[in-house]
Structure 1
């Protein structure tokens, strides 16, 4: 059994009494990603932080890609899915979306990675199963079920990824001030609609923000998106179902 290692006063390592577990590795990796971003995660760096040899991490969690998959699974497990019975399908989608945003909002460094990598795990399968079950019970079938499902997950998780996007790479400490100044100084004749709505959209609209979700959450816009999503799906469902048949 692998154990954590502790440092002796002379700098050499001695095995600790507490054995290392896969959960320990995932917890430590998630904490590192939350603190420094997923690009900072390395097996060697994580091993040093945990006080273990890198081989111990590979034994318990596989390589870096496998570890990140376990980290994503851990985050997915934090999402509280509403019950399938007794919840209207529109309310289920809204509740799932709100909690997914809450969870990924607590792990903003992971949000973009989460949606940019294929997710295949017990947790992702459960989310997929529940979402498909809700939509199927609502009356979506065949290709329409597939399209509705992709609209739900794509809209919700794509939004979350965009809202909690990281700062530009290699951005200096003043890039936000520069961006804000450039936005407010842009020629009115070039972007008249932006300039006339600047107090409304500045730092609250995609492509017009200089702060990410943790600093400038887009709560109202996200709620509006969820309502628009469910209303649009309901309209599509009505269109494919056709008018009710009248008895002669």
Structure 2
């Protein structure tokens, strides 16, 4: 009895394509975040992203229209779970403390994304309204309303972004060690006559204070300063209540 005809042999390209997950918006954003984690924002481009996904660059545009949209999506993914769940008997202070802590933890997991935050929170169509609602609800519970509610909200968002961006700002990519050594040598050469307060407090400030650092928060986190900073923000909100 003659054997049945064999189906046409699949090409290597078809086999390879069949073995890969279908390209989707989620895969594009996941790969973009991986690229930024590894290479940094400055080196991020669609060619490398397409290579990581094993597709042509034009295929990416079927799912996300342009590079700006991809970066905005990455920011949204990194910070989408920042808003804490409301707890029973949770007061506004403890809620905001947890919000600040969760935000910084997200940035710490993906420090290369931190420089993108300010640009993409301004008009990000993907921003999570749970974040906005949580801040407003906490401030309302604190007794703020009207113009004071707006002022308090803007203060919280500005504080949340500003400290973390500075703490996790990227180091120079070229000649990093040489740059770090130059910063340290410059600090050691501070003139006590010209800058007496800086010179007297340099052991406390060196690598632990903004502008006077040669490492960022990934290697030298500012835990104590951040905790103090959050309490200062809360104290400022207390003054708005009064």
Q: TM-score, normalised by structure 1?
A: 0.86
Aligned residue number for residue 202 of structure 2: 198
Unaligned runs of 5+ in 2: 1-10
| Contact 2:36 2:113 survives alignment (8 Å) | yes
Q: CA deviation at 1:215?
A: 0.7
How far, CA to CA, are the matches of 2:43 and 2:88 in structure 1? 42
Greater C-alpha Rg: 2
RMSD: 2.1
Q: How does 1:119-138 map to 2 (within 5 A)?
A: 119-138=123-142
How far, CA to CA, are the matches of 2:118 and 2:18 in structure 1? 37
How far, CA to CA, are the matches of 1:37 and 1:78 in structure 2? 22
Change (3 A) 1:68 1:235: same
Aligned residue number for residue 8 of structure 2: none
Aligned residue number for residue 119 of structure 2: 116
State the secondary structure of the residue aligned to 2:85: coil
Q: How does 1:137-156 map to 2 (within 5 A)?
A: 137-156=141-160
2:199 paired with 1:187: no
2:48 paired with 1:45: yes
State the secondary structure of the residue aligned to 2:42: helix
2:211 paired with 1:207: yes
Aligned residue number for residue 67 of structure 1: 70
2:33 paired with 1:27: no
Change (3 A) 1:176 1:128: same
Aligned residue number for residue 177 of structure 1: 181
| Contact 2:72 2:126 survives alignment (8 Å) | no
State the secondary structure of the residue aligned to 2:17: strand
How far, CA to CA, are the matches of 1:134 and 1:48 in structure 2? 44
Equivalent in 86, 92, 95 of residue 95 of structure 2 = 92
How far, CA to CA, are the matches of 2:185 and 2:15 in structure 1? 53
Equivalent in 161, 166, 185 of residue 165 of structure 2 = 161
How far, CA to CA, are the matches of 1:13 and 1:183 in structure 2? 59
Aligned residue number for residue 3 of structure 1: none
| Contact 2:71 2:116 survives alignment (8 Å) | no
Count of aligned residue pairs for this structure pair = 230
Dislocated runs of 4+, deviation >4 Å: 11-14, 169-172
Q: CA deviation at 1:85?
A: 4.9
| Contact 1:69 1:119 survives alignment (8 Å) | no
State the secondary structure of the residue aligned to 2:193: coil
Larger strand proportion, structure 1 or 2? 1
Q: TM-score, normalised by structure 2?
A: 0.88
Change (3 A) 1:71 1:80: same
Question: Which deviates the most, 44-53 or 163-172?
Answer: 163-172
State the secondary structure of the residue aligned to 1:206: coil
| Contact 1:166 1:212 survives alignment (8 Å) | yes
Aligned residue number for residue 218 of structure 1: 222
| Contact 1:84 1:130 survives alignment (8 Å) | no
Q: CA deviation at 1:77?
A: 1.4
How far, CA to CA, are the matches of 1:78 and 1:31 in structure 2? 18
Change (3 A) 1:120 1:109: same
Change (3 A) 1:127 1:84: farther
